[in-house]
Amino acid sequence: MTVSDAVDQYTIMSGDRSKIKDLLCNRLTECGWRDEVRLLCRNILLDKTGNNSVTVEQLIAEVTPKARTLVPDAVKKELLMKIRTILAENEAENNSN
């Protein structure tokens, strides 16, 4: 049982995942990250237009690291804090139950 499986299963089961995802999406849209990434994707797509051998997965693998670095530090910190508190809250609730 790896960390990823445990976290995935639990967050999906408890409904935290969609909650956190909404929060994350809102924050990233607010800080303009979404537009930056959209531009990045656009440029990459336009660059690779003629090349049919490139798969979407490859392109996504190319975009992802760049997009990660584009997230502002403040937003990243805030989101990590929020995620941690949400996960911790759940633990506290479960313990009390």
Binding stretches for other proteins (CB under 8 A): 1, 3-13, 17, 20-21, 24-25, 28, 34, 37-38, 41-42, 45-46, 49, 56, 59-60, 63-64, 67-68, 71, 76, 79-80, 83-84, 87-88, 91, 94-95
The CA distance from 57 to 65, in Å, is: 13
Spatial contact of 53 and 83, defined as CB atoms under 8 Å apart: no
38 or 74, CB closer to other proteins? 38
Q: What is the rounded distance in angstroms from the CA atom of residue 83 to the CA atom of residue 24?
A: 9
* Shortest spacing between CB 1 and other proteins, in angstroms: 6
